[in-house]
Structure 1
């Protein structure tokens, strides 16, 4: 259990931008309003889905969808960690500390 906590120690649940707070689940327009433009943006597409099978193989159902993933990086200067925000279809899913800013 302690090992799992250490592995995700860099993931955070909220980001403070000045006096405003952004939390997981926020829409990217809300993040832009509270934090301003990110220092960098990268986009990629991923396929999410599942495959359901009957134990005897008589039925197989595939459900897949394409998801747009955006990674935003905010650099708050050399005394603070850079922050990586990951959005899926416009919703904030993950906030992660990176190295110190510049």
Structure 2
């Protein structure tokens, strides 16, 4: 009976939704996490090896209410995406830090550095 309860408990754990991984960059003993500004990342990690920037346009739905009626329209929103690459040497993976409108949103690991 106890084994059955243990299996049931474990299976319920796997069915629960999990929280998405937060973007975190470790630079020595410093951490830069989701929402950090570019200035904060520069202060903690120094200048990156490379910086790339692009602008993306995204359609955003807007609901407007006028009395009893409501209408939905779409407006174009422009986002500035920056990708900074950090090379921490041959024994560590390179890290690509992604900023959206100046805020840290993602950290991606690439191949080993040089």
Alignment counterpart, residue 46 of structure 2, candidates 36, 40, 44:
36
**Counterpart for residue 91 of structure 1:** 103
Determine the C-alpha separation between the residues in 1 that align with 2:39 and 2:94.
20
**C-alpha distance 97-32 of structure 1, shift in aligned 2 (>3 A):** same
Q: How does 1:1-102 map to 2 (within 5 A)?
A: 13-51=23-61, 59-102=71-114
Hey, what's the Cα distance between the residues in 2 that align with 1:60 and 1:19?
Answer: 48
Report the CA distance between 1:51 and its aligned residue: 4.0
Runs of at least 5 residues in structure 1 that lack an aligned partner in the other structure? 2-10, 54-58
Q: In angstroms, what is the RMSD of aligned CA positions? A: 2.4
Larger Rg belongs to: 2
Question: Is residue 94–residue 113 contact of structure 2 (8 Å, CA) maintained in 1?
Answer: yes
Structure 2: how far apart are the matches of 1:95 and 1:12? 9
Stretches of structure 2 that go unaligned for 5 or more consecutive residues are 1-13, 15-20, 64-70
Structure with the larger RCO, 1 or 2 (CA within 8 Å, 6+ apart): 1
Judge conservation of contact 2:82–2:100 (CA < 8 Å) in 1: yes
TM-score by length of 1: 0.78
- Larger proportion of helix: 2
Q: Tell me the number of residue pairs that the alignment of Structure 1 and Structure 2 aligns.
A: 91
